[in-house]
């Protein structure tokens, strides 16, 4: 019985990611099949481009390292305080590590511009030199 619990636990850890990949595969396959069927009935190439834009990937905004860094920093602070008051030195170390990662992300946010406006300003500043 004890071995059965371990085997079920390991199988659950394998089945969940595999089922997610299978689901994503079928979702993408159906989307491509739908786009193909609709494009067969269209004569205007402009409409085909519109169709591809509708089914295409959404434009992703660049990562905001400053915002993510602040969230990570305070998550680490919360873990650290939880270790101070309840669980001890292990969680204090984990919290300090996560906070340090958050500080690094905030610094990276100031070193590497992430929006097009910030990139344009950085290029203009560089060209003035």
Please report how many Cα atoms fall inside a 13 Å half-sphere around the Cα of residue 44, on the Cβ side: 5
Which pLDDT score, from 0 to 100, does residue 97 have?
92
pLDDT computed for residue 35 by the predictor: 76
pLDDT in tens, 25-55: 888 877 778 777 877 777 777 777 777 777 6
- In this prediction, what percent of the chain has a pLDDT beyond 70? 87
Where are the domains positioned within the chain? 2-55, 65-128
List, for the chain, all residue ranges whose pLDDT scores fall below the cut of 50. Answer: none
**Count of CA atoms in the C-beta half-sphere (13 A) of 112:** 11
* CB atoms inside a 10 Å sphere around CB 69: 20
Torsion 121-122-127-128 (CA) sign: positive
């Amino acid at each position: 019985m004890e071995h059965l619990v371990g085997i079920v636990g390991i199988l659950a850890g394998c089945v969940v990611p595999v089922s997610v990949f299978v689901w994503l595969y079928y979702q993408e396959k159906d989307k491509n099949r739908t786009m193909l069927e609709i494009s067969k009935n269209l004569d205007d190439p402009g409409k085909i481009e519109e169709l591809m834009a509708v089914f295409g990937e959404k434009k992703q905004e660049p990562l905001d390292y400053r915002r993510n860094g602040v969230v990570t920093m305070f998550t680490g602070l919360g873990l650290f305080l939880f270790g101070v008051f309840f669980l001890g030195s292990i969680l204090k170390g984990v919290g300090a590590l996560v906070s340090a990662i958050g500080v690094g992300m905030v610094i990276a946010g100031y070193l590497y511009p992430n929006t097009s406006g910030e990139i344009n300003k950085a290029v203009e500043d560089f060209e003035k030199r």
